[in-house]
A and B are shown apart, each in its own frame.
Chain A
Amino acid sequence: MRRLPVYLVLDVSGSMSGEPIEAVKNGMQLLHSSLRKDPYALESAYISVITFASEVQQIIPLTELSQFQPPNLSAGGGTSLGGALQKVTDCASSEVKKGTREEKGDWKPLVFFMTDGSPTDNVESGLQAFLNYRWGIVVACAAGSGADTSVLQRITENVVTLDTADSTTIAAFFKWVSSSISTSSKKVEETGSDAGGSELPPPPPEINLAKP
C-alpha cells in the first residue's frame, strides 16, 4: 500500500510558551480528532511530528494515523529552523519509501511548517538539503507578527500568515492542515498521482496567503 507521509514541523521556541504552545497542543488534538474520522486519511496518512527550538527533535516518527497519539509539547529555547529543515529532509529520506521494481513507493510527503519567529541558526545548508528533496505539498506558516516570512518564502511558495499566534487562529490553522491532509489523501487515491501545490483547500479567513 502506498502511504501518504505527513510531516508537521513545529516551532517550540521560548516565544511559543504560554498560550501559543497550548494552542498548538490543542491544534494537534483537533487535527487528530478530525483525521481519525476520515476513512481516506485513516487508510493512507502517516504522520510525523518534528519540533524545533534550540534543539531539533523528531518526537513522533512517521506513524500510521490509526496508531498516532497527539504528543505533549513544551516551549523553550531558540529557533533552529535550519536544523529543522535538515531534520525533516533526513527523516523523509530514511522513512519515505521510494518506488522500486518490486514495490510501489510512498506518495510524496506533505510538510507543514509553523514558526512564530526568525531563525536563530544558519538556515543555508538545511534549506539546500530540503529543496533538493522531492516533496509533495509544502506549507509554511508564519504565526504572529514576529515571524520571518522572507525565509519561509525561500522554503515554499505556499506561505501563509496568521496575524496573531492566539488559540483561535492556531486552531484555524490546524483545522486547515487537517482538511489539506484529507484532500490530499483523497486526491492521490482518485488520480493515482502525487498531490501538487495547487491542491490545497481554500484557507479560512484567519489564514492569509502571503504574497512574495
Chain B
Amino acid sequence: MNEQQSAEQTVETGYSPLHQLLTGISDWIISHQTALQIACAVFILSAVFTLLYIFHKFRRRVNDMEDTRTNIDPHTGKTRPAVKSVEMPKVSNPDLDGFDTGTDTPFKNNEVVPEEEAAKIDSPVPLGTDNTAAAPSQPDDCGSVKESSSVPEPVETVVNEPPPKPTPPIIAFTFQTERDGKPVSFITNEIKKRIADFQIPNATVDTDYEFIFDFSIDELKIVSEQPEAQPKINSTLTDNGFSVELLEGNRIRFYGKPKMDYNGKIYFLHQTAEAFQEKQSKRAEGQSEPLYNNFQDSKPFIINAHPKSLWKDLPCVGTDENGNPYDNYGDYENADSVSSGEVVSYTSAKSFEVIAASIRGRSHAHVGKPRDDAYYYEFDGRQQTADGSNAGWNFITVADGAGSAKHSRKGSEIATRTIVQTLRSALTAEFTKVIFTDRMEQIQRWKNEFADADGKLAPETEKEFVEKSQLDKVLYIAVREAFVKIHNEAEEYKKKHPDTKINDYNTTLLAAAFRWFPELNDGKGGWFIVSYWVGDGGATILDDTADAVGGSRKTPRKVFVLGEPDGGEFAGQTRFLTMKEEITEEKVRKRLRFTFCDSFEAMLLVTDGITDPFFPSEAAVVDEPRWLEFYEKKFKGGCYEEPDGCKEIFDDTIDPQKKSEALLKWLKFWSKGNHDDRTVLIVRPTTFVKPNN
C-alpha cells in the first residue's frame, strides 16, 4: 500500500521544474556574460524545453528505479548520452566540497524554502516506506513530476515555525563498488532502498542524539581516503550541533546535540567514486563538472523544541498579549517561590535545623497562575529545659492546594497555620507532663516494643497507646479546627461571591509534631514524633540510630513513612482535608502515626510535586527502601539533572537560611511531565551555631 502511496504522492508541487531550471539558468547567464556563454545558454534552454516537452508528453511513472532515478545504465555502467547533454550550471556549496548540489537540489538554487512549505509539499511518509517519489527531481526525472491540482491549499496557518534556514539538512557521501574488478553503479539501488528503510527518529533540542546509517551492503565501500569524498554534512547541520563520522562496516554515525528545532526533511546526497574521480579530474582541467552522477533521497526529519523552552513564566498579575490587564491572585496573593531556614538548638547535642522551600510549578507559571503549595513551622524546642518542664514541641507541615480549586492557595495556607497553632496550644507543658513525663516507664516499654517490632506495634498495643496518650483526640481537634477555619473563610468569601464553595479551597495536609524526651532510654533521651497525613505527597523519617536502645534492629538505618498517600489507582484523584467526611475522630485516628527514634538523619515532608517525579505509584510512596534511594541518590547525592544544586544543605557551616536558597535551586530540577508546585521541608540535626548565639 505504501509503495502505491508514494507513487501517487504529489510532492514536487510548487517546484515547477521549468521555473527551477529557468531561475538557475538566468542566474548563470547573468554571472557569465560572454557571448559564447549566452549562446550556450540559449542552446541549453532549447534543449531543456525540448526535454520538458518530451517528458510531459510521455508523463508516466516508470517504477523501475534505475530507469527513473539514475542516469547511468545499470547494465553497461555507461552514462546516458541524452542526460549528458543537459549539463546544468553548478551552484557552489562550500559546505559539501567534493559534492555537487546542482540546480536539481530541492532548495531552489539556495533560495530559502520556508519550512512550512517544505513540510506541506514534501509531506513525510510512514516509516519504512519507499520514499523515492519524495526525492527531489533529477534533470532526467521530469517525467515523474505530477500535477499539483489534487493537493488542496492549506486553509490557514496555525503554525508559527521558526525562521527558515538557508538550506535544508544534507548528508553527503561517496561510495565505491566493484564487481569483477570493474566499478559498477547499480549498487545505487541498494543504497536507495537502504535510505528508504531508514527510520530516522526525531531529535530534541538540547538533547543528545545519535543515529547510525547502516550501509553494510555487499560490494559497497564508503569512500574515506580523500578528504573531499568523505561523508559529510552541510552547515545547516553542523551549525545546529551535528557531526558525522564513518564507522567500520560502512556505517555512518550521525550525532550531536541540536540547538534549533526543525520540521522537514533531511536529504541524502550520494555519488559513486567513479563520478567523484571524474569530477576531480574535470575540475583539475578547469572544466565545468558533470552533474549527472549525483543521487538524492530524502526522509522526514524532525527536531522538536525541548519542552523546557516552550514553558512560559508569566507573572500572576500583568498584561496579556492583547494588552488587557489581568490579576490571577484575586483576593489571595501568594509569592511565586518562598524559602526559609532556621536552626533550633536547645540542648548542645540535639540541635536541629529546618530548611524549607516551595516553588510555583511550570504548569502554573505557563498560564500566570499562583503557587498553591504552602509550608509552615513553629518551634518550642528552643525553650525546652533540660528537665522537659516546658512544652518543648516542634511543629512542621506542608500542604498542596488543589490545582483545580480556585482558592486552594488560601486553603493550604490556613490548613498549615491552623494545625500548627492548634496543636501547639493543645500540647501544653501540663499535658505533656501528665501524658508523657509522668508515665515514662510505660512509654519506655512501648518504645522498646516499637523498636523491637521495627516500628510496627501490635494493633492492641497501638490502640492502647493512642487512647492513653489521647493523641487521637488532640489531633482530631487540630484537624477539625483547620477544616472549620477554611470553612469559615469560604463562608465569608461567599458573602461577596455567592458561588463560593469549600471545594474551592481544597488542600492536602501533612503535619508532624516532634519532641525530644530526655527521660527516655535511661536518661539518654529519644525523639517522639506524631504525624497526620491526608492526600498525596509524602512524609518520612530517616532513622539514623546506630545502636538502638533495647532494640535489635537489623539495619543501621530505618525509614519510617508517616502515613499513606491517598489516590485512586485509576481515577488519579486524591483526598482533601476540606472533605467533610475526613473530619471524624475515626478517620483522623486512622491517619495518625507515631514514631520513636533515638537519632535521625532527616525528617522530610514533601508535596506531590516531589513524590510524582520520583515515586511511580502510591505504593512506592510507602516503600521504605525507595525513600532511602530518593534521599541518597536524588536528593543528597546531588540532584536530578542539575549537577550542583544543593550540596550546601549538607554542610553544617552554612546558615540554614542560605541552605534554603540552595534547596530552591534544587526544586527547579527538570522532570518530564512533572510540572506541579513543589515543596520540601527537611529537618536535620546540625552542629551549626549562629554567630550571635
Q: Which residues of A contact B (CB under 8 A)?
A: 1-2, 18-19, 22-23, 25-26, 29-30, 32-34, 36-40, 42-44, 59-60, 66-74, 98-105, 107, 166-168, 171-172, 175, 178, 186, 188-194
Contact = CB atoms under 8 A, between A and B. Distances in A.
A18 to B, nearest CB: 6
8 contacts: A19-B152, A26-B123, A39-B310, A42-B305, A59-B126, A72-B124, A103-B616, A175-B156
A74 B402 CA distance: 47
B570 interface: yes
A32 B570 CA distance: 28
B573 A192 contact: yes
B543 to A, nearest CB: 25
Interface string B2-13: 101110110000
Given A66-B204, A104-B572, 17 more contacts: A1-B673, A22-B150, A23-B152, A30-B154, A37-B160, A38-B310, A39-B307, A39-B310, A72-B126, A73-B5, A98-B570, A99-B570, A103-B617, A104-B616, A168-B155, A172-B155, A189-B676
Interface centre among A69, A105, A191 (most CB of B within 10 A): A69
A2 B5 CA distance: 35
Contact of A34 (B154, B155, B159): B159
A43 B307 contact: yes
Contact of B311 (A39, A74, A103): A39
Contacts of A99: 569-570, 617
A137 B374 CA distance: 34
Contacts of B571: 193-194
A98 B569 CA distance: 9
Nearest to A178: B158
B152 A22 contact: yes
B363 to A, nearest CB: 5
A59 B263 CA distance: 21
Contact of B129 (A29, A68, A72): A72
A33 B363 CA distance: 21
A148 B116 CA distance: 35
A2 B572 contact: yes
Contacts of B154: 26, 30, 167, 171
B125 A101 contact: no
A175 B158 contact: yes
A139 to B, nearest CB: 19
Interface string B432-455: 000000000000000000000000
Nearest to B569: A99
Interface residues of B, number: 60
A67 B302 CA distance: 8
Given A74-B8, A104-B572, A194-B572, A167 B152 contact: yes
A167 B305 CA distance: 28
A1 B150 contact: no
Contacts of B151: 22
Interface of B: 1-2, 4-6, 8-9, 116, 119-120, 123-127, 129, 150-156, 158-161, 201-202, 204, 263, 300, 302, 304-305, 307, 310-311, 362-363, 366, 402-404, 569-574, 616-620, 672-676
A191 B124 contact: no
Given A191-B404, A193-B573, A66 B363 contact: no
Nearest to A98: B570
Given A30-B159, A99-B570, A100-B617, A40 B363 contact: yes
B599 to A, nearest CB: 32
Given A36-B263, A42-B307, A74 B4 contact: yes
A42 B123 contact: no
B619 A102 contact: yes
5 shortest A-B CB distances, which residue pairs?
Answer: A167-B152, A39-B310, A72-B125, A99-B569, A1-B673
B5 A192 contact: no
A204 to B, nearest CB: 10
A110 B300 CA distance: 26
A57 to B, nearest CB: 8
B152 A26 contact: yes
Nearest to A23: B152
Contacts of B5: 72-74
A67 B201 contact: yes
